[in-house]
Structure 1
Amino acid sequence: MYSILLALIYLAFISLGLPDALLGSAWPVMYPMFNVPISLAGLITMVISVGTIISSLNTSRLIRKFGTGMITSISVMLTALALFGFSISDSFWMLVVWSIPYGLGAGAVDAALNSFVAEHYSSRHMSWLHAFWGVGASAGPYMMSYALISRNSWEYGYSSVGIIQIGLTFLLLMSLPIWKKQSELSAQKKIGHHHLKISEALKIKGVKHILIAFFAYCALEATTGLWASTYLVIHKGIQAEIAARWASLFYLGITGGRFLSGFISERLGNRNMIRIGLILIAIGLIVILIPSEIEIITLLGLIVTGLGCAPIYPSIIHETPTSFGAQNAQSIIGIQMASAYVGTTLMPPLFGVLGDYVSISLYPIYLLILLFIIWNMTEKLNKIVTQNAN
């Protein structure tokens, strides 16, 4: 039964990743069509993130009432509806409206499945789980690139992903008896969770540090993915269709890195995996900073940055029960997701404003600042957890 659920969770995370890179890949073509500034891509991601924050903060309560399987099914269905909505949008404000159900669906499934895997599976599976998210995030730009080249239609890219989401929704609905059985087994083992309010969680030592780290990490990852194509087009002079494909290399680096992390994470431990990831991100961003007309250098920088991002998210999530107690993990993971999405909401749009009014060339410098914040907060958390253990 664990194997069946794990396969479904992997499929769900592929589905979760597929739409994430679509906007960044298509935006160089979309914004002239809607006659809006480049920076308004940030408004769409902001609306999506607000929805994810709301659903993440309520996931623990919803799971206790409806179960992980039902919440996951409904969430995927909402994202499918939103993607079809994107594909028929004929104005920018329609995109904004359809961003609402997309955000609500994405936040709930993310928090629910992360909590489930952190509780029931090893760090190896947590890494591979997020690798499957990377499979989706890497495939999304390729699907959009195909839609732009063969159909000259970004709308086709969104509708194609929507069809895949509908198929997954049916699979998840059919699997509800398996989720129910797992819930009964957990009850027999007396696996319980405390529902913590935000104010209660913040009183636990180290929680503030991990929330700031998660804020900065997801800000870094989202900003990198959203603005990579635009940076390549405007600053490097690469054609939009090619840039959309190259931007996927960042997600390809994340995906490959997470598959590799699964083989070594249990040996090295979550803390060391985070440190290694941050060092690789620093190397990748420095490479992107190098002023060179040799395009392969920028591509290598994106890949190395993706490799560095690979272990950080799953390692932080999987370490949560160890750092703050298994009974608090579900609530804290939900709050972590919300903090992460606040970073996703605020920081990519902020860079869009900087790109508009200062220069898009600030892209790698902006990311390096976020990197420093992550390093500082995770190292402080490690000291707190070590002191508490002693």
Structure 2
Amino acid sequence: MTSSTTAPKTDYLVVVIAYLSFVVLGIPGAMLGIAWTSEQWPSIQKTFNLGLDAVGALFITTTIGYSLASVFGGRLFGRFNSSSIFLVGALISAAAFLSYAFWPSWWLIVISGVVAGLGSGMLDSGMNIYFAAVFNARLMNWLHASFGIGTVIGIAMIQKVLGAGGRWETGYIIAAGAYLVVAVLFLVTRSHWVNVGRGTHEEGTHAGISARSTLRLPLVWIGLLIFLSYAGLEGVGTQWTFPLFNRGRGIDPITAGLWLGILQGSFTAGRIFFGFILAYFQPRTLIRACSLLLIITTLLLIINPIPNAAFIVLAVYGFMLAPIWALMVTYLQERLGPLHGANAIGFVVAAAGLGIGILPGLAGFLANRSSLEVVPVILFVLAIAMAGLYEISVSRRLQAWLLPTTT
């Protein structure tokens, strides 16, 4: 980085606190997969007497809040100190998740989802902006691995709470407490955080090219669909693995929760592992290999040939999904270049947020009207769609159409 805001040397106190914030960021979403529905344990669905697909409303409202924070993230950094943005995001998140535990109505929780998404989005998009401006790519990679660690902790924590006879509300109280701890850390280390506002790379990346011009490129729309599919593979897998095996296939809640933890753990391990080897392989080779194995694993989830060994399939699924995000971002950046690349990355991240917000809810809607066995079918379709769209994007015959030379 050549930005004037780049720190002369790495402040590892800031790095550690950033990683901790992403660990906390991963807890609530993963926890919801178990807290939402369980045959043997108290659940949100039972508390409010809801249908299986009602969780879709919460996904939509959190996505609205998250998208607002993401869209205005650059402007926030132009007006406020970095540490202040992170502090407010953590406090907003803490307040929202604490309210989940005490609201007497499901729809009040749904409304609070906008606030939760806003706070989480300030931390997520804000920390990505910060790391891109101040730190190197390897530290950025470990930042996202920290999120995966948070998902594993969230699953283990809510499973422990419910297994000990507690209620789902306790999980959200703990999550809120974790956000408060992070907020305190942001407060006491505020002088360590570099301000990445005016004059950073964020403002220069979009100069001379409009969003409309970028959206005229067919490759960008293919990228939007790829990231939408990827988000579905991640979001649907996280939200519906536990219900599929617990309610749908009769696996006891301890084992089903463990299997969900294996999925998230392999996803985290994959991000760490591929972070070391990405430089030694062609991105196209890795994308194709991972996509093929995702198709195979989702097909095996449908067939379920060895029910008691399904956790192995989940482990491979999570591991193969892990590098796709980074590989696809790099691929689009290289294909579109510096003029269109920045706009395009913003668009595909928004598409992924839309996928996380809509596709798990759609899966719940379909499962409620058929059975939970529709979940692996959805994953299979998404895996094929993602692989097919990528092949379209690299097709030599279509390059003149995908990237017109006149733009």
* TM-score in terms of structure 2 length: 0.85
Residue 249 of structure 1 corresponds to which residue in structure 2?
Answer: 262
Task: State the AA in 2 paired with 1:31.
Answer: Q
- Alpha-carbon distance, 1:234 to partner: 2.2
SS of 1:306's equivalent in the other structure is helix
SS of 2:205's equivalent in the other structure is coil
Q: CA separation of 1:92/1:67 partners in 2, compared to 1, >3 Å: closer, same or farther?
A: same
Do residues 89 (structure 1) and 103 (structure 2) align? yes
Mapped partners of 2:51, 2:195: distance in 1 = 51
- Alpha-carbon distance, 1:287 to partner: 2.5
- Alpha-carbon distance, 1:318 to partner: 4.4
- Between the two proteins, what is the percent identity of the paired residues? 25
- Alpha-carbon distance, 1:6 to partner: 3.1
Where do 5+ consecutive residues of structure 2 fail to align? 1-8, 38-42
Mapped partners of 2:363, 2:115: distance in 1 = 25
Aligned pairs for 1:1-390 (under 5 A) are: 1-4=9-12, 5-28=14-37, 29-118=43-132, 121-180=135-194, 187=200, 192-194=204-206, 198-204=211-217, 206-292=219-305, 294-295=307-308, 297-326=309-338, 331-382=343-394
**Are the counterparts in 2 of residues 23 and 226 from structure 1 also a CA contact under 8 Å?**
yes
- Alpha-carbon distance, 1:217 to partner: 0.7
**Are the counterparts in 1 of residues 79 and 197 from structure 2 also a CA contact under 8 Å?**
no
Residue 5 of structure 2 corresponds to which residue in structure 1?
Answer: none
Task: State the AA in 2 paired with 1:248.
Answer: G
**Are the counterparts in 2 of residues 123 and 266 from structure 1 also a CA contact under 8 Å?**
no
* TM-score in terms of structure 1 length: 0.88
- Alpha-carbon distance, 1:364 to partner: 1.2
Where do 5+ consecutive residues of structure 1 fail to align? none
Q: CA separation of 1:114/1:374 partners in 2, compared to 1, >3 Å: closer, same or farther?
A: farther
Mapped partners of 2:368, 2:110: distance in 1 = 20
Greater mean deviation of Cα atoms: 7-16 or 23-32:
7-16
Q: CA separation of 1:238/1:380 partners in 2, compared to 1, >3 Å: closer, same or farther?
A: same
SS of 2:72's equivalent in the other structure is helix
More helix per residue: 1 or 2? Answer: 1
SS of 2:204's equivalent in the other structure is coil
**Are the counterparts in 2 of residues 77 and 105 from structure 1 also a CA contact under 8 Å?**
yes
SS of 2:36's equivalent in the other structure is helix
SS of 1:308's equivalent in the other structure is helix
Deviation string 1:49-71 (CA, Å, 9 cap, x unpaired) is 12212222222232333354433
Q: CA separation of 1:217/1:68 partners in 2, compared to 1, >3 Å: closer, same or farther?
A: farther
Mapped partners of 1:199, 1:191: distance in 2 = 17
- Alpha-carbon distance, 1:223 to partner: 0.7
**Are the counterparts in 1 of residues 103 and 109 from structure 2 also a CA contact under 8 Å?**
yes
- Alpha-carbon distance, 1:243 to partner: 2.1
Over aligned residue pairs, what C-alpha RMSD do you find? Answer: 2.9
Deviation string 1:112-161 (CA, Å, 9 cap, x unpaired) is 33344455555544432221110001110100001101242111111112
Structure index of larger Rg: 2
Mapped partners of 1:168, 1:322: distance in 2 = 35
- Alpha-carbon distance, 1:168 to partner: 1.0
SS of 1:180's equivalent in the other structure is coil
- Alpha-carbon distance, 1:328 to partner: 5.6
Mapped partners of 2:202, 2:229: distance in 1 = 35
Task: State the AA in 2 paired with 1:166.
Answer: L
Greater mean deviation of Cα atoms: 90-99 or 59-68:
59-68
Task: State the AA in 2 paired with 1:299.
Answer: F
Matched length: 387
Deviation string 1:156-194 (CA, Å, 9 cap, x unpaired) is 11111211111112222334333335668x75x998332
SS of 1:206's equivalent in the other structure is helix
